[in-house]
Structure 1
């Protein structure tokens, strides 16, 4: 087993069944032909409908069928089921959630969150570990089982494979889903896992190229890191003037952290890790090995970085992006590695929907912090503490963005504090990325709860430097207005009356406050954003 660094809506009524089936069929594909053929017929208890299809799955409460209308989900308690593949009616019907993937979530974090969730519902929590890579958790109310969680600890990659094979209901991931994994999941009836609300971020972590405090190496660009990991840069003399071979340490190649680094840093350069890269099963073990060798550099986890010094990311223009809890929360650091669940586009028992909702609560955030990870609770950062960002802006001033433009921006932001929620967009799109979708939900919940009553919220749009400055300001404004509209839509869904809470407005500042250089895809992506400022 690879150690990856351990440390849907309600069930339909009879009257709505046919229309819901047709609606679902327009969103989800037919179940994959490779699924085991298991013909069944389900009939509602009152005889209102009869459906024949093949059994696509059963989670202890909900039957998933493949039918001529597309995928259909029914509650086993509301129907009778006929066919050899039907669940045994005499067996206990306990809702069961199968999770597979990264031990970074499954070994400690999710069991701790499930235990806290159980405590808040006043139900008992019983854990069993039948194998080193297997955890089974049962929740019971007065001795009556109410839910089961089955966690398989493998890798992010194997988690997606299990989902496509209907051996898992959710994926525990530490990197973004790849295109081939998304296609296989779609073909298997899990829906579009790159779509809205399919990623549920549980905690924040980051990939941190890091060195011993005795190593003078101060900053690296993505191409430089790619050269180091591929072996093209094999000696420190080219980087620090010290003649010593570079010793590269990394996490398991099959694990999600190393794969995420390869996808974002090595693949764009057309490179692969050198065979000389030293692999460590455990992130703490890696940190210790790098700390003991001034000639070493390693891909550490921010949560387990020990006394290593993270290497700042630097572009050819000289702008630097440093790693901190604040830059991680704000998505300013481009090698973030959120610990997240990929949730298929299908209905699930209510208790598991409640668990997903629980993950965004203060009680869950407390569990995340106690385990040494970074939570998603927004923090306010005064303008006076934005030194690195303001220095980048001054360095970038020129013909397109004058010093007067920067002064006007500072007038707009005077007496404000930046909230560590940043909204970003998918490449070449106006769609928010998954982290930003979570940010809309959290900000709207906090506004609805009255946290920002009596204050003003400014959605400040920024762009990269490609194109004319006037056009970039217009693009930035449209993005800021799109985020404002998304927050208002979520507030309406939460039942908040129009005009209640803080005043909301949008402004576009274009390329006036760059985070990174525009000479790379990741730099331009970092600069295209909408920030939240409070007054």
Structure 2
């Protein structure tokens, strides 16, 4: 961040060079009147001015300058401004609930003001005086539009149902918004899932992700290919600009190296999509888990017999392979104090409760007893091979039986050693929980697992490395605690407990994970 000292240097250069200053809508003048800086006011957070000048964007400490010009904000009745744009799924329910919860916790009143179909704002005020302290403006449209608004400097935060794409990432960096895939630039507000749905009268109850890609690409055109009736398949998806439709493109079609068929039927909302699929016995669609209506969700299966259904626990642990994190992207820009407090609030316990009540899956860590993990251990027994496999299985049972699994899991980007976007957010959540003293006096074990491709010894080594990497990342994220009250350690069992079939890249991705177990 460049403060007024940098601005003074720029102005001194200007004066020495003899070039005329370009006055726009504000002039920041030092209190002794000796030096001034002119430009376009981009923002004011109650403490710092953000000004676009001929020397670039500068951030100036407001305590050291006087502001002159028509663009100067009021310092007496300052109102914190925050503009939020993006996914309607996040913006219509979850974010308003979080804003209202934040206002209530801080003793403020919140009033919702409707603009048009896509715009509304919340006015936050002091209850006794009625003085306004904040204005949070929303534009609810699509993830695409949210990133476009951010790049056009028309939004401070982006609500997204998918990860930022490489092109958007590069443009944001060029615009000085920082690396938006950095751990401090994106966070997960809550979790949802891409759920495959059919009509309740459709006899098909499960589908593999490989077959789903074949359906979406048009390779499978008849329900008979999926064990259903001899009838054509009608494919339904959200509109092409929606985050969930783009996540289907990124995470299913692109990974299968296929293109979406041309005859897909598009819908403006998840509600419309679910209704259309429910009423058509030959339809199949992909909707948000939170908005499947009366349709029938399909389990995800594979040739090895494993089956996974989207429910609160499988989504929270990321065991369900089509989990859809609900992202909030925060650029490298100083936001008003009230906005920063709101962002901090989204990680708190009360905010997680609000996420659950809004119909989404929260991220508060839960402890899962061993006796409700029978299917996982059954899979481990089924796949154990040879004396080494049985020995590893025995050691795993002996080690994990006294412990309880946390719902917080960690996975890595395909073909990379870097944690995926949801897991990077999980690092921060777990670190904050440790800082709050939740696990004081307890043992926390980071346990690595791998897929079954390759030699078992190599898989075990990789699982150990991943467990150590996650432990190190969490330790680095803990800022306000010495970690002396929590005993952290690592262990690994390689391919001993698969969650999905290893015959597809999606199955292998699910199996490569680090779990957290506590005692």
Tell me the TM-score normalised to structure 1 length: 0.86
Find the counterpart in structure 1 of residue 187 from structure 2. 200
CA spacing shift, 1:68–1:423, aligned 2, 3 Å:
farther
The answer to whether 1:111 aligns with 2:96 is yes
Give the alignment's Cα RMSD to 1 decimal. Answer: 2.9
1:531 aligned residue (488, 506, 515): 515
Find the counterpart in structure 2 of residue 33 from structure 1. none
Find the counterpart in structure 2 of residue 125 from structure 1. 110
CA spacing shift, 1:330–1:187, aligned 2, 3 Å:
same
Find the counterpart in structure 1 of residue 86 from structure 2. 101
CA spacing shift, 1:316–1:340, aligned 2, 3 Å:
same
1:400–1:469 CA contact under 8 A, matched in 2: no
Cα distance in 2 for partners of 1:37, 1:441 equals: 43
CA spacing shift, 1:37–1:424, aligned 2, 3 Å:
farther
Any gaps of 5 or more consecutive residues in structure 2? Answer: 11-21
Tell me the TM-score normalised to structure 2 length: 0.88
Cα distance in 2 for partners of 1:214, 1:305 equals: 15
1:170–1:342 CA contact under 8 A, matched in 2: yes
Cα distance in 1 for partners of 2:215, 2:373 equals: 31
Alignment of 1:214-225 (within 5 A): 214-225=201-212
Find the counterpart in structure 2 of residue 507 from structure 1. 491
CA spacing shift, 1:53–1:216, aligned 2, 3 Å:
farther
Find the counterpart in structure 1 of residue 236 from structure 2. 249
Any gaps of 5 or more consecutive residues in structure 1? Answer: 1-10, 23-35
1:165–1:188 CA contact under 8 A, matched in 2: no
Cα distance in 1 for partners of 2:504, 2:160 equals: 26
CA spacing shift, 1:77–1:400, aligned 2, 3 Å:
farther
The alignment of Structure 1 onto Structure 2 pairs a total of residues equal to: 504
1:401–1:511 CA contact under 8 A, matched in 2: no
1:125–1:137 CA contact under 8 A, matched in 2: yes
1:461–1:509 CA contact under 8 A, matched in 2: yes
2:83–2:156 CA contact under 8 A, matched in 1: yes
Deviates more, 1:431-440 or 1:417-426: 431-440
What secondary structure is seen at the aligned counterpart in 2 of 1:429? coil
Q: Deviations over 1:502-528 (max 9, x none)?
A: 322111222222222333333222222
1:473–1:508 CA contact under 8 A, matched in 2: yes
1:64 aligned residue (50, 71, 94): 50
Cα distance in 2 for partners of 1:391, 1:38 equals: 70
CA spacing shift, 1:395–1:131, aligned 2, 3 Å:
same
CA spacing shift, 1:524–1:46, aligned 2, 3 Å:
farther
What secondary structure is seen at the aligned counterpart in 2 of 1:340? strand
Find the counterpart in structure 1 of residue 16 from structure 2. none
Find the counterpart in structure 2 of residue 42 from structure 1. 28
Q: Deviations over 1:316-373 (max 9, x none)?
A: 4443332111011111122112222111012211111110110111221222122211
Cα distance in 2 for partners of 1:228, 1:260 equals: 16
Cα distance in 2 for partners of 1:233, 1:51 equals: 68
What secondary structure is seen at the aligned counterpart in 1 of 2:323? coil
CA spacing shift, 1:353–1:89, aligned 2, 3 Å:
closer
Find the counterpart in structure 2 of residue 396 from structure 1. 383
1:12 is displaced (CA, Å) by 7.9
1:401–1:512 CA contact under 8 A, matched in 2: no
Cα distance in 2 for partners of 1:247, 1:533 equals: 44
1:44 is displaced (CA, Å) by 4.4
Find the counterpart in structure 2 of residue 476 from structure 1. 463
Deviates more, 1:356-365 or 1:138-147: 138-147
Cα distance in 1 for partners of 2:293, 2:358 equals: 14
1:452 aligned residue (439, 459, 464): 439
1:191 is displaced (CA, Å) by 1.0
2:3–2:58 CA contact under 8 A, matched in 1: no
Cα distance in 2 for partners of 1:244, 1:176 equals: 36
